[in-house]
Structure 1
Amino acid sequence: MLTGKQKRFLRSRANTMRPLVSLGKNGLSDQFVDGVAKALEARELVKISLLQTAEETPAQVGAFLARTIPGAQVAQTIGRTVLMYRKASKEEHQKLSVEVAKLG
């Protein structure tokens, strides 16, 4: 579980990020979940944009991804954007998680 300081740090890092993944009318498919999981493994922090055609709400998407992807957590939900965080399993990709652990 992320603390307030950790979430604030992740939000500050995501402020300049562009959405990496978009969710549209196809909904929460296996391909979408796999894409988010791979992006989380490589980057640890992923911004997901929900298009106007998406039937799900950002809260539903965040909760679904947190249940489906082991270790994934919602760092922020604002408007039609969801910010997801997960510590990478490979040490070479663990850049943000080192700084997040210091704040915890």
Structure 2
Amino acid sequence: MLTSKQRAYLRGIASNYETIYQVGKGGVTEAMCRDIAEALRKRELIKLRVLDNSGWTAKEAAEAIAEQTESDVVQVIGSKFVLFKRNEKEPVIENIPKAK
């Protein structure tokens, strides 16, 4: 679980990120979640987008994917959302504020 300071820090980093996955009319699938989990392992922080024809809201998709990938939802804005999962073995993002 992320603290508000950690979320704010990660939101700042994610603002410069490009969207790398889209949830389309196929919705959230197991194969998609495997790909997203692999991307989270390598990058720790990713930005995703929900297309209008998907039938999902960004919040619904974010929560479903976060649950399947065991990641945290950093933010949901409009059709985009950001996920974070710490790679304990090889951290990518440094200086994340410590949880109290």
Task: Give the TM-score normalised by the residue count of structure 1.
Answer: 0.88
| Matched residues, number | 99
**Paired position in structure 1 for 2:86:** 87
Aligned-residue Cα RMSD (Å) equals: 1.2
Counterpart in the other structure of 1:99: 95
Alignment of 1:2-81 (within 5 A): 2-70=2-70, 72-81=71-80
Q: Which runs of 4+ in 1 moved over 4 A?
A: none
Q: State TM-score, norm by structure 2.
A: 0.91
**Alpha-carbon distance, 1:89 to partner:** 4.1
Render the CA deviation track for 1:17-52: whole Å, top value 9, x for unaligned. Answer: 110111111111111111110110000001001111
* Gap runs ≥5 in structure 1: none
The share of aligned pairs that are identical, in percent, is 27
Q: Which has the higher helix share?
A: 1
Q: Distance in 2 between matches of 1:62 and 1:24?
A: 13
